[in-house]
Structure 1
Amino acid sequence: MKSALSNAARRPGARSALGLTLGLAAATFACSVMAEEAAPAAAPELTSNVGVVSEYVFRGIRQTWGNPALQGGFDYAHASGFYVGTWLSNTSANLYANANVEIDIYGGYRGAVGDFAYDVGVLQFIFPKANYDKITPAGSYASKTYDTTELYLSGTWQWLNVKYSRAITDVGYFGFTSNNAGFGAFPNKPNAGVTGKDTNGSWYIEANIAYEFLPTWTATLHAGRQTIAHSKGLDYSDYKVGVTKAMPGSWTLGLAYTATAGADYWKNYPSLAGNGTTKDMNASTWIASVNRVF
């Protein structure tokens, strides 16, 4: 992208005007380092979450090559407002060379002033053993990991949440550099690519709405804009709309529709695993989910 304390999680990008997306509700909102806010707990609390989605989509980009994903994590919230957590999901080596899993580790501080809740923290995306030098054929690109660190600032008032995330490492936008994502690197848009040395300073801004229109039924909307620093033609917008249903036993069912604008360089994206397949990573798609918080 992307647990209740998380931010939904994760990555790739393209370009277009700011849009309206929907937050896949509990599973996406709850299981991804990027979404919903709450005031500090009255006492220390350890929670966990587990879920299954028909496809893992992060910031509008499909992460599992059209396949389902098993996701889950743990969150610890202290009475002071500080919290830490981790979240995991399977991913695809077709998109991240030699990757099978994404691990997100995050921590921050959450508080409230009246009806306004705020959250500030840091999020580390980790893709164990994944590296651009593993792209088939091996050695085609210089060594560079996909691991990315972002700072985030979020504010929530009633049903409206706004969040800003910014990359602070030279890895920038998930390892994009002029070496591996320069002009000509994207078959469907050869005039787009990284123009500087790296993409440090890339940022993502999003607005999320979660409104309970009937008891246990919540409508969600999401609009996000990904800006990739030191690049041309790679910025894009993503949108999502959906609904969730709270079930007995802390289960939540969700259905969402996600789309992008300006991310056409992700069309006909060739597998980095060298199996000859391609995928429209930016294609609009439905996402079904089931999630439980313990």
Structure 2
Amino acid sequence: MTSAQSTPLAGGLSSFLLGALLATTLAAPALADTSGTATMAIDTEIKLLSDLRNRGISDSGRKPSAQLNVQLAHESGIIALAQLSTVSDKAFTDADGYNLLLATGYRWGDPDAWHFGVGLAKEFFPGAKFDAPHGIDLEAGVPVDFRRTRYDTAYAVLELGWGKLEGRILNVISRTYRGADTGGVCGQILAAAVDPTPAIECYLRGDKTSRGSMLYDIGYKYDLTPTTTLNLHAGTQRIRHFKEADFSDYSIGVTHQRWGMSFTAEWVTTRTHRPELFLIPDGNGWKRQDDDRLVVSVGYKF
């Protein structure tokens, strides 16, 4: 058996994080000044969350998290985003405790009608890595070929929206989706499952990566009052070569603007195929990161 490893999917990709990959495509366009010179709009936000959920999976080990977001939008349609978040070093083994997301892209269209966006994004997990077996010796019954995997992930993103209805498609262009390879997926099942049969079946497919995985989102926002918005979201993830790692997430929440701050309460639920892929070490046992949960947050823009 392998030693316990935190799963590479235990962070999954807060709905805000992956939404942020293309949130910039809906940024209000910067306006030109009276001289006709192009201008740039810069928005900075600090945010505190009771739990950093990413596609329904906790990145923060079901503990509070802090975020800093800086978004730039040029009137030409070019946009850029930098986001710094605190994460769990158990969800992302040996991590320095934070995640950096950088994104850039282009958006066009009418925010109140059809609008579109394309972009590239990459998230970095400084220090985060794990060593896991990428094969198994069936005769000896022991794992073999231990190799190191990192969590850094790159995406190509496409967005299509109508008014406040938004759809997004993300394609993983890096070698893995947050460390999901044969060592990360099969090794985690072997470490956490009671029955080793699913892990053996996983290993028998050969040494694979998750490049080419597809992530889909659809979201809708409805203004209940001038200061209160209803947020609806659904997403599904298809992890290439690892169907046991596929999962879907859903959320419903309300955001209220008051005193220059935004207050959000959101109910998040996730449907997974193999729960052991969404566990992290907790003392002598394991703790689920895909449980249903009410997440609250407060943000301030300046």
Q: Report the TM range for the smaller structure's normalisation.
A: 0.7 to 0.9
SS at match of 2:20: coil
Between the two proteins, the alignment pairs up a number of residues equal to: 267
Question: In the aligned structure 2, how far is the partner of 1:268 from the partner of 1:290?
Answer: 26
Is 1:109 aligned to residue 106 of structure 2?
yes
Contact 1:146 1:174 in 2 (8 A): yes
Question: In the aligned structure 2, how far is the partner of 1:78 from the partner of 1:254?
Answer: 28
For residue 214 of structure 2, the aligned residue among 181, 203, 209 is 203
5+ residue gaps, structure 1, are 1-10, 16-22
Partner of residue 175, structure 1: 179
Deviation at 1:265, TM superposition (A): 2.1
Partner of residue 74, structure 2: 78
The 1:268/1:86 distance shift into structure 2, 3 A limit, reads closer
Q: Judging by fraction of residues, say which structure has more helix.
A: 2
Question: In the aligned structure 2, how far is the partner of 1:69 from the partner of 1:93?
Answer: 12
SS at match of 1:224: strand
Is 1:131 aligned to residue 129 of structure 2?
yes
Is 1:161 aligned to residue 159 of structure 2?
no
SS at match of 1:230: coil
Q: Judging by fraction of residues, say which structure has more strand.
A: 2
Q: Deviations over 1:29-50 (max 9, x none)?
A: 8983354724532231122111
Deviation at 1:243, TM superposition (A): 0.4
Where do residues 39-118 of structure 1 align in structure 2 (5 Å cutoff)?
40-42=29-31, 43-99=39-95, 100-113=97-110, 115-118=113-116
Q: Deviations over 1:184-241 (max 9, x none)?
A: 3462485265745211001110100111011211001100001100113211110000
SS at match of 1:55: coil
Instruction: Give, as a single letter, the amino acid of the residue that structure 1 aligns with 2:106.
Output: Y
Question: In the aligned structure 2, how far is the partner of 1:133 from the partner of 1:145?
Answer: 9
Partner of residue 3, structure 1: none
Task: Quote the sequence identity (%).
Answer: 25
Question: In the aligned structure 1, how far is the partner of 2:9 from the partner of 2:278?
Answer: 15
Return the TM-score normalized by structure 1.
0.82
The 1:109/1:119 distance shift into structure 2, 3 A limit, reads same
Where do residues 1-294 of structure 1 align in structure 2 (5 Å cutoff)?
12=9, 28=16, 32-35=20-23, 37-38=26-27, 40-42=29-31, 43-99=39-95, 100-113=97-110, 115-133=113-131, 141-170=146-175, 172-182=176-186, 184-185=189-190, 187-188=192-193, 191=198, 193=202, 195=205, 196-249=207-260, 251-266=261-276, 269-271=279-281, 275-294=283-302
SS at match of 1:198: coil
Contact 1:14 1:264 in 2 (8 A): no
Contact 1:39 1:117 in 2 (8 A): no
Partner of residue 5, structure 2: none
Instruction: Give, as a single letter, the amino acid of the residue that structure 2 aligns with 1:214.
Output: T
The 1:205/1:59 distance shift into structure 2, 3 A limit, reads same
Question: In the aligned structure 1, how far is the partner of 2:17 from the partner of 2:122?
Answer: 18
Instruction: Give, as a single letter, the amino acid of the residue that structure 2 aligns with 1:142.
Output: R
Q: Deviations over 1:88-109 (max 9, x none)?
A: 1110111111111110000000
Q: Deviations over 1:237-286 (max 9, x none)?
A: 1000010101132x100000000112542477242xx8434211110001
Return the TM-score normalized by structure 2.
0.80
The 1:270/1:48 distance shift into structure 2, 3 A limit, reads closer
Instruction: Give, as a single letter, the amino acid of the residue that structure 1 aligns with 2:247.
Output: Y
The 1:32/1:185 distance shift into structure 2, 3 A limit, reads farther
The 1:141/1:187 distance shift into structure 2, 3 A limit, reads same
Contact 2:52 2:65 in 1 (8 A): yes
Larger Rg belongs to: 2
Contact 1:12 1:59 in 2 (8 A): no
The 1:222/1:111 distance shift into structure 2, 3 A limit, reads same
5+ residue gaps, structure 2, are 1-7, 32-38, 134-144
